[in-house]
Amino acid sequence: MTTSSRRYHITTFGCQMNKADSERMAGILEDMGFEWSEDPNDANVILYNTCTIRDNAEQKVYSYLGRQAKRKHQQPDLTLVVAGCVAQQEGESLLRRVPELDLVMGPQHANRLQDLLQQVFDGNQVVATEPVHIIEDITKPRRDSKVTAWVNVIYGCNERCTYCVVPNVRGVEQSRTPEAIRAEMEEIGRQGYPEVTLLGQNIDAYGRDLPGITPEGRRQNTLTDLLYYVHDVAGIERIRFATSHPRYFTERLIRACAELPKVCEHFHIPFQSGDNKLLKRMSRGYTHEKYRRIIHTIREYMPDAAISADAIVGFPGETEAQFENTLKLVEYIGFDLINTAAYSPRPGTPAALWDEQLSDEVKSDRLQRLNHLVATRAAERSQRYLGRVEEVLVEEQNTKNQAQLMGRTRGNRLTFFEGDISELKGKLVKVKITDCRAFSLTGELVGAPQVLSV
């Protein structure tokens, strides 16, 4: 391969975890001397970082792959890589389905990309899906945003929600050490990123696999301890974390969020269903009453906190009355945002094998009704911002209106206002809110941008 032919392209599907993995893999490729190519057709290493959370996510991957596999017949030096969750789920059978593939690698192998590619360049077709201890990465990620950075704190998931493939494809929980996390955040702070989002599929499980008990007999190295430990990292103005699990969410964590000024008043706590019998069959380990109590406690400490969640409709056996319990919970809480989905049976998960699978018609009818209620309640909640001055972190120009900028409030609400991106990108500004929609706000700049303590 000549130097001029060393161009790579990555397409990322799925969740923030995959986005973070892609940024690290891009960093590795750039270290190896590859250059980013926006157009996959100009690249000679193409990597698809895949998602299998629902069937439609998986099918999308196959249609992308099909196109590039054809191209490989004209351009044999093209290297085709499938990484991420479909790679882990399908393993070698992906090679039977798409023989043109050079490398199939599960999410736990992301940091080994250089090694694995070397094996490919040596003439091998490689499958790396065996469970491994994830090595601490020393390569610098190539971060997509210049404003907000992801930081993994725990990999994997030890829960066994009966609908979910994640534990099968992401492996067992593995926490990074507080020192490694802080070191990464210090680097991010030095590079001028004002915001960090700490990531884990079940971030409340952080530290369960690390040693340490306090003199009072409390487990050390919890997520709460971590927030206190990293809070003073210079340059970082905002800290977020996701995803929270209601089973493990503690009042101590809520208190820390209220106490620590950099931690944003935004909580992403999926409830999945508002029906106790269904929650039990999902193996979620909490009741809707417990969920309501958590939100009450958050609102006691931080009355204005933004609450978002995930919910599934049409789980096997879900009755109309059980679905209505989900609607009741949504009506009652008043979420700022919910990612809703129709249940999709996944290979290797218990619920996929159960009788009582619901028809697509029932699922899509319920999804529509839920989405309608979510939007109505979110629009109501949004009104509280009208006339207020909000702190907004400026991210980008509004792609739909070049005169406007886009940023997020501490509560993670998209906010649009007029301004100059070259002057304001990455700055915290004050915006007076003049118009509120269900999931976004419009406003006007007030005062000068704040000077960050970088």
Contacting positions for ligand F3S (CB under 6 A):
14-15, 17-18, 51-53, 84-85, 165-166, 169-170
Residue 54 contacts which entry, ligand SF4, ligand SAH, ligand F3S, none (Cβ below 5-8 A, type-dependent): ligand SAH
Q: Between 17 and 392, whose beta carbon lies closer to ligand F3S?
A: 17
Out of 12, 88, 152, 243, name the contact with ligand SAH by CB under 6 A. 243
Query: Which residue, 18 or 409, is less far from ligand SF4 as judged by CB?
Result: 18
Site string for ligand SF4, 197-216 (x = CB under 6 A): ----xx--------------
CB-wise, 323 or 343, nearer to ligand SAH? 343
Nearer to ligand F3S, 130 or 216 (CB): 130
Task: Give the nearer residue to ligand F3S in terms of CB position, either 53 or 127.
Answer: 53
In whole angstroms, the minimum distance from the beta carbon of 338 to ligand SAH comes to: 9
Verify binding: residue 245, ligand SAH, rule CB under 6 A: yes
Q: Does 257 bind ligand SF4 (CB under 6 A)?
A: no
End-to-end CA distance of the chain: 42
Q: How far is the CB of 248 from ligand SF4 (least distance, A)?
A: 10
Interaction residues for ligand SF4, span 159-178 (CB under 6 A): 159, 161, 164, 166-167
Three-state SS sequence of the chain: CCHHHCEEEEEECCCHHHHHHHHHHHHHHHHCCCEECCCHHHCCEEEEEECCCCHHHHHHHHHHHHHHHHHHHHCCCCEEEEEHHHHHHHCCHHHHHCCCCCEEECHHHHHHHHHHHHHHHCCCCEEECCCCCCCCCCCCCCCCCCCEEEEECEECCCCCCCCCCHHHHHCCCEECCHHHHHHHHHHHHHCCCCEEEEECCCHHHCCCCCCCECCCCCECCCHHHHHHHHCCCCCCCEEEEECCCCCCCCHHHHHHHHHCCCECCEEECCCECCCHHHHHHCCCCCCHHHHHHHHHHHHHHCCCCEEEEEEEECCCCCCHHHHHHHHHHHHHHCCCEEEEEECCCCCCCHHHHCCCCCCHHHHHHHHHHHHHHHHHHHHHHHHHHCCCEEEEEEEEEECCEEEEEEEEECCCCEEEEECCHHHHCCCEEEEEEEEECCCEEEEEEECCCCCCCC
Q: Which is nearer to ligand SF4, 245 or 363 (CB)?
A: 245
343 binds, among ligand SF4, ligand SAH, ligand F3S, none (CB under 5 to 8 A by kind): ligand SAH
Which residues on adjacent β-strands are paired with residue 391? 430
- 273 touches ligand SAH (CB under 6 A): no
8 A C-beta contact, residue 127 and residue 203: no
Nearest distance in Å: CB 158, ligand SF4: 8
Residue 163 engages ligand SAH in binding (rule: CB under 6 A): yes
Check binding of 271 to ligand SAH (CB under 6 A): no
CB of 58 vs ligand SAH, minimal distance in Å? 11
Nearest distance, CB of residue 412 and ligand SF4, angstroms:
20
Provide the minimum distance between the beta carbon of 159 and ligand F3S in the complex, in angstroms, as a whole number.
12
Considering the complex, state which of residue 144 and residue 444 has its C-beta at the smaller distance from ligand F3S.
Answer: 144
Residue with tokens 């971030």: 203
Tell me the one-letter amino acid at 453: S
Nearest by Cα to 339 from 378, 385, 299: 378
Cβ neighbours, 10 Å, residue 401: 11
* Residue (107 or 246) nearer to ligand F3S, CB: 107
Q: Which does 407 bind (CB under 5 to 8 A by kind): ligand SF4, ligand F3S, ligand SAH, none?
A: none
Residue 412 CB coordination number (10 Å)? 18
Least Å from the CB of residue 200 to ligand SAH:
8
By CB under 6 A, how many residues form the interface with ligand SF4?
Answer: 9
- Find which of ligand F3S, ligand SF4, ligand SAH, none residue 18 binds, CB within 5 to 8 Å per kind: ligand F3S
Is residue 79 a contact residue for ligand SAH (CB under 6 A)? no
Nearer to ligand F3S, 18 or 221 (CB): 18
Interacting residue ranges for ligand SF4, rule: CB under 6 A: 157, 159, 161, 164, 166-167, 201-202, 245
